[in-house]
Structure 1
Amino acid sequence: MTDTALSESVVGVPDVWRLRARGCWAEAAALLAPFCAEDAGAALLRAELLVESCFYHVAGWAEAEDALRTAEAVAHSDEERGGAASERGYLAYGATVFAVHDRADEASAAFGRSAALLGPGSPGRPLLDFRRGLVAENIAADPAAARAAYRRAHAGAVAHGDAFLTSFTWRHLAGLAAAEGDLAEARHGYGESLRIRVGLGHLVGTAPALLSCAEVAADPEEAARLRAEAIRLHTLLGGVPTWLTPAPDA
């Protein structure tokens, strides 16, 4: 492999995904770093990895900002600029919901720029719709708008064959159903999310999925089994996501 050609094995499942799925975002980002100055796709993926890490560690915001600036600088097409704007909005959203800084206005503006750049058929549009749903649910406190955005994201993710995003849309639609007392729909959605994550080998996202299933399980013994498996996996991964740490005794 040379420093001038980005190997598909570096970007794809064999390397970056394996590390990402195990919560090794820094290591995955390091594989991409040599290519980011000239390859907009590599720069955007590296920024995405480091932004995602912030959501699991509730730390690393400055490094993610630096990676995002690089991605913004090397983006040339509308698709690349729209993807970078989506990451900008997501990072600002994360800083807001985790009470690092109130950047809600920045998140809204960045998502608006992204929407103007990514057409309805863009492969990046479902992820943008999902993230705008997060803002509607967790900042604007508008579950109806959130549900509409999640449904658009879900349909788009299915159409584009994006199983990873589909695991998130199922999860968040299930969360809205649970909040409204529709436990049957919540069980279905959480179960689908868990099934996809297990199938993809997304270990770092499996413990939260197990706990969500436990919260709506009809059988107390099944709920206890799911929680025990979540605790085991969370411990195996070194306590990531960090925000699950109090959950075992909840």
Structure 2
Amino acid sequence: MAHTAMSGSGTTSGDDPLQTAVWRLRSRGCWTDAAALLAPGADDPAVALQRASLLIERCLYTEQGWAEAEEALRVAEAIAQDDDERGAAACERGYLAYASTLLGVRDRADEARAALGRAAALFAPSAPGRPLLDLRRGLIAQNLGDSPQAARAAYHRAHVGATNQGDTLLLSATWRYLAGLALREGELPEARHGFAESLRLREELGYLVGTAPALVSLADAEPEPEATRLRAEARRLYQLLGGVPTWLAARLAPTAAA
């Protein structure tokens, strides 16, 4: 099962205090609190979209909050004013539908593909949202379409775009998914390198909620006893965050390492 997070680069000392607070809450899995901080400004299209993105990410990690995410996304769609904003809202629509399908809530695969196709048509070639769109199209190709070649091409485009934009969190995701395809093909050195890069970037960002999955992915490519050590570290972090992401539980069970 593959998951990702919306793009971002963490925070720096010069960032807006509100965005710094949002990032700190988000990175610890407190999406509801982060979204609440944005609620007063949600009549602004960019803020409304960010709020919807946070609540959609919560769905991916907790398998809860679908109605609230849907409501926030409808608001963002309704007030989007230009093609970039409409494209970004369509990208989130596709991601929410993908999450619903992947987690077995409701099959919305056709909706996911249509929404991401709409985003691709709305975005200019150099639009800031295109790398994230490429990543999500790769996820659909890999996990809903069983097309690893198409997924790899999309992940590569996203990887290049994230590098050019300096989007560190998105880059950590592209490293991870490219490494997952390498592992599937038995390319252990390539997989190990990609998973290690993904973990390094998430640790540098302080993206705690995404660190346990990165540890488990790296463990899959490492020999013993390192693999057991990594899974134990992931288990401690998973428990610290209150069992989030929920779908990691099966990967952390004692039999999962066997």
How would you bin the TM-score normalised by the shorter chain? over 0.9
Equivalent-residue separation in structure 2 for 1:152 and 1:119 (angstroms)? 15
SS across alignment from 1:52: helix
Equivalent-residue separation in structure 1 for 2:111 and 2:66 (angstroms)? 15
AA aligned opposite 1:18: R
Which of 25, 29, 50 matches 1:45?
A: 50
1:163 matched residue in structure 2: 168
Shift of 1:158: 0.4
Which of 25, 30, 46 matches 2:36?
A: 30
1:82 matched residue in structure 2: 87
Equivalent-residue separation in structure 1 for 2:169 and 2:202 (angstroms)? 7
Equivalent-residue separation in structure 2 for 1:8 and 1:89 (angstroms)? 29
Shift of 1:221: 1.4
1:50-109 Cα shifts (integer Å, max 9, x gaps) = 001100001111110000001011110111111000000000011111111111111111
1:185-200 paired onto structure 2 within 5 Å = 185-200=190-205
Shift of 1:155: 0.2
Q: Matched residues, percent identical?
A: 62
1:9 matched residue in structure 2: 17
AA aligned opposite 1:138: N
RMSD over equivalenced CA pairs, Å:
1.0
Equivalent-residue separation in structure 2 for 1:246 and 1:121 (angstroms)? 40
1:91 matched residue in structure 2: 96
Equivalent-residue separation in structure 1 for 2:109 and 2:247 (angstroms)? 21
Shift of 1:246: 2.5
AA aligned opposite 1:8: D
AA aligned opposite 2:16: E
SS across alignment from 2:104: coil
AA aligned opposite 2:77: E
SS across alignment from 2:225: helix
AA aligned opposite 1:121: S
**Aligned: 1:172 with 2:177:** yes
For structure 1, the residue ranges without an aligned partner over 5 or more in a row are: 1-6
AA aligned opposite 2:219: A
Shift of 1:222: 1.1
Equivalent-residue separation in structure 1 for 2:97 and 2:187 (angstroms)? 31
Shift of 1:9: 2.3
TM-score by length of 1: 0.94
Equivalent-residue separation in structure 1 for 2:117 and 2:83 (angstroms)? 13
SS across alignment from 1:245: helix
SS across alignment from 1:122: coil
**Aligned: 1:113 with 2:113:** no
SS across alignment from 2:64: coil
Equivalent-residue separation in structure 2 for 1:8 and 1:221 (angstroms)? 43
Equivalent-residue separation in structure 2 for 1:8 and 1:86 (angstroms)? 25
AA aligned opposite 1:9: P
For structure 2, the residue ranges without an aligned partner over 5 or more in a row are: 1-14
How many residue pairs were aligned?
240
Equivalent-residue separation in structure 2 for 1:124 and 1:60 (angstroms)? 24
Equivalent-residue separation in structure 2 for 1:9 and 1:105 (angstroms)? 39
TM-score by length of 2: 0.91
